[in-house]
Amino acid sequence: MRRTLYAILIAAAVPSGAFTVDAAKSAIQFTVIHKLHRVEGKSNEIEGKAVVKDDGTVQAMVRVSVASFRSGDANRDEHMLEALEAGKFPYVVFKGVAQLPPGRAVPIPSLEMQGEVQLHGVTRPMRVSLSLAPQRDRSIRGQGSFDISLDAHGIQRPSLMFVKIEDTCHITFDLVFRAGR
Amino acid sequence: MRTRCGDKTFLAGVVLLFGTPASARATVRVLGQALRPSELRVERACWMPNPPLPSVQSTGRLSDEHDTTHGGKEAGTGQQNGGEAANRGEFGFDLLGVPPNTQKVNEDALRLRRTMLTVHQGVGLGMFALQLSTTIVGQLNYNDKFGGDNTSKYVQAHDILAYSTLASFAAAATLAWFAPKPIKRGEGFDRVSLHKASMLAATLGMLAEGTLGIWTQSREGYLNQKSIGTAHLAIGYVTLAAVTVGISALVF
């Protein structure tokens, strides 16, 4: 509530230009489910850029090294790298395009972004709903989540105790964008 | 304004090939269209070579971003791929350029490590079952020896189980110890660290158990045999607990 009020108070318009992800303040997290437990992995080694055009179109691209995710179990992380064939496909890449509403005022509680995710060398279409909120330091925070199918990306699902994890991998992101390259 | 192959692309070509902005404007005006060069963005002109807008995969090789799959993998259902074909051009941009050099992953070593650790997992679970049996039979043997009729009916079973446990423990440890480590990373204290610490404790426990077990047998007829046997039994439980913690650290 307090955050929402604050966001409204500092509401601003998104200017045209390039925005770069502040990796130190950003995070991408995945969650996969195994019958015995739920695994969460996180990465802060994020490269990302967004370009806001004069007509309000936003192009965004985010790239994360799959080796940078940490789940609190180095052995499991290595298993994940093997499943993702990290030697051949070391990055997960998201590209998206969205249209800012007229006036481009932020906060925007829900912005639909059409995009594609490239994971394990397979590119799949993706629709992401994200929120944009202005921050005190004039950066813009984008948060959202989406699900990806491991099978659809041709990933041989890892198993523990000879039981595979579920097909759905839930991705949540919290990205802070700063104006400039 | 976006231009494609055709008249407008031709205009863009004129601008790009011959134009200072002033001459370009003049050229455009002559052709009766008030276009500024800044409005002309050539997506792909007909004289440009294919493929358009290459992107760089992190392995360093160039790849066609418009392919849905890389490395010959199937992307999934054709319906979804075909339906998105029109959209792919929309995502042909590359805002990040060439990725920085990241740690290379030796997949062969990773695969060998996975195989060895999978076998380690199987051997480890088998060892746990043997250890549990050894402890149960050991307790029965202790009861028979020091609280019962001293029939020695559990001695052979306990010996076989104990040596099998030791052998499988050594095999599991060897597999884990010699598994290649293709990725160097500092994780801090994580689940694997707890597993390793528990197994280190279990190794010390197994060594102590073996020593105390043999010593107990050699003290037949001596007064301190029971106390040595009790220590052997207690260490057996502690070792079982250490292995349980070590396995649980990875499983749960």
Does the beta-carbon distance from B190 to A74 stay under 8 Å? yes
pLDDT in tens, B196-231: 999 999 999 999 999 999 999 899 888 899 999 999
- Inter-chain CB proximity A160 and B58 less than 8 Å: no
Count how many residues are written for chain A.
181
pLDDT for A13: 80
pLDDT value of position B211: 94
Rounded to a whole number of angstroms, the distance from the CA of B62 to the nearest CA of chain A is 13
Instruction: Say what the pLDDT of residue A4 is.
Output: 59
Question: Which pLDDT tens digit goes with each residue over B10-26?
Answer: 444 434 444 444 443 43
Domains of chain B: 1-48 (no CATH), 52-102 (no CATH), 107-251 (1.20.120)
Q: Does A94 touch chain B (CB under 8 A)?
A: no
Pick B104's closest partner by Cβ from A51, A87, A97. Answer: A87
Residue pair B99/B58 in contact (Cβ under 8 Å)? The answer is yes
| pLDDT in the model for residue B56 | 35
Provide mean pLDDT across the span B237-251: 93
B58-85 tens-digit pLDDT = 333 333 333 344 443 433 333 333 344 4
B58, B74, B96 member nearest A49 (Cβ): B96
3-state secondary structure of B38: helix
Average pLDDT over every residue of B236-244: 97
Chain B CB within 8 Å of residue A47 CB: yes
pLDDT in 10s for each residue of chain A, 181 residues: 565 555 555 567 888 899 999 999 999 999 999 888 889 999 999 999 999 999 999 999 999 999 899 988 877 888 888 889 888 899 999 999 999 998 888 899 999 999 999 999 999 999 999 999 999 888 999 999 999 999 999 999 988 777 889 999 999 999 999 988 6
ipTM of the complex: 0.78
B3 vs B192, more confident: B192
Inter-chain touch A86–B107, beta carbons under 8 Å: yes
Domain CATH code at residue A113? 2.40.128.110
Tell me, yes or no, if A166 comes closer than 8 A to chain B by beta carbon: no
Task: Let me know: does B3 contact B12? Beta carbons within 8 Å.
Answer: yes
Tell me how many domains chain A contains: 1
Q: Which residues constitute the domain of residue A136?
A: 2-179
> Residue B83 CB: number of other CB atoms within 10 A?
11
Cβ neighbours of B140 (radius 10 Å): 15
Nearest CA to B155 out of B220, B86, B247 is that of B220
pLDDT at position B127: 97
Helix residue ranges, H only, chain B: 7-18, 21-30, 78-88, 107-147, 155-178, 191-218, 225-251
pLDDT digits (tens, 9 = 90+) for B30-60: 333 433 333 333 333 333 333 333 333 333 3
B9 pLDDT above the threshold of 80: no
Residues 6+ away with beta carbon under 8 Å from B45: B3, B5, B9, B12, B13
Confidence at residue B24, expressed as pLDDT on a 0 to 100 scale: 39
Percentage of residues in chain B having pLDDT higher than 90: 42
Q: Which of B59, B68, B192 sits opposite A88 (nearest CB)?
A: B59
Position B51 scores a pLDDT of: 37
**In terms of Cα–Cα distance, which of A119, A112, A120 is closest to A96?**
A112
- The minimal CB distance from A73 to the residues B91, B104, B190 is found for B190
Q: Does A127 lie at the interface with B, CB-CB under 8 angstroms?
A: no
The model's pTM: 0.61
